[in-house]
Structure 1
């Protein structure tokens, strides 16, 4: 609830220990979100984790992850290529100015571009004015310290609540906000 996503010691993998009930509870809605997405945008760290798992899985969620066009934004100037198992034609590297490249991407893709996780990327996108909607799950736990998901935001962003959903089993809450322009 305090906006921290890494866990008490800053261990990003520790998220499994406290977020899993909400993740399991929201799986059906997350599947629909991925199935309806026209593109997936992710940061390098998230890409590395997802690319090591999803191309080797089967089922509806794997199909949504593997067949949807994916784009990786990174600050790492040494990164020149990205791979996604046998789905290499579905993934591209976004190089250059983030605002410019994401604006170009939004102009070329009709429909929804989602950003799963990727806190640093979301922060950069908010700072660049490239976020239309925030769709997040708040988990009923206060971690106290760690990395904040919406840290390093350089300017005020007004949000309008457009949808909520409570997950009974975990007590987690999905919140959808429109970013007011």
Structure 2
């Protein structure tokens, strides 16, 4: 049975996409922590048996990763990828020269995710994809939350856990402080 790991970079107040302007691209507040944690992020993707993403994350990643080189690009490009979306206009997915590594999950999301979890034995990493993560958490599919929290409070913007239907208890698995940036990685198991 596969394990779904929701992975995100966010502010202390839970914002993963800031308000309009410079903050919108995360560079001004997230880049120091992301750069300092790159080896841990790389290890997470290298250990993944699959990557699951929503449409918006897919569109951003598909325009970038297939054209990069190096260890991180290899992890992103060569790992099997799945795109879940409610957008009926998206009928096919592409990943540059790695088209055989990506699939579109069409139809009933709960049924498709249950099938994916039984088909894949290891980690299924869900980068960003807040809407998808919220749906997966509400349906009881998320097994772990891996958050890189940056030392900033934005006060507005899109919250990562904006539409959660019910309480979810968590068990702390590990913490990692990145001293130069002040960012902190928190890993939680979702108690079922």
Give the TM-score, by structure 2 length: 0.91
Equivalent residue number for residue 97 of structure 1: 108
2:168 is aligned with 1:178: no
Which residue number corresponds to residue 71 of structure 2?
60
CA drift at 1:86: 0.4
Cα distance in 1 for residues equivalent to 2:179 and 2:101: 36
Asked if the contact 1:39/1:112 (under 8 Å) is kept, the reply is yes
Q: Which residue of 1 aligns with 2:15?
A: 4
Please say if 1:30 is aligned against 2:26.
Answer: no
Contact 1:10/1:146, CA 8 A, preserved across alignment: no
What is residue 111 of structure 1 aligned with on the other side?
122
Specify the SS of the correspondent of 1:144: coil
Match of 2:54 among 20, 26, 43: 43
Q: Where is the strand percentage greater, Structure 1 or Structure 2?
A: 2
Shift, 1:47, TM fit: 0.3
Higher RCO structure (Cα 8 Å, ≥6 apart): 2
Instruction: List runs of 5+ in structure 2 lacking aligned partners.
Output: 1-11
CA RMSD in angstroms, aligned pairs only:
1.2
What does residue 150 of structure 1 align with?
Answer: 161
Q: Which runs of 5+ in 1 are unaligned?
A: none
* Cα offset, 1:97, TM superposition: 1.5
CA separation in 1, counterparts of 2:104 and 2:28?
31
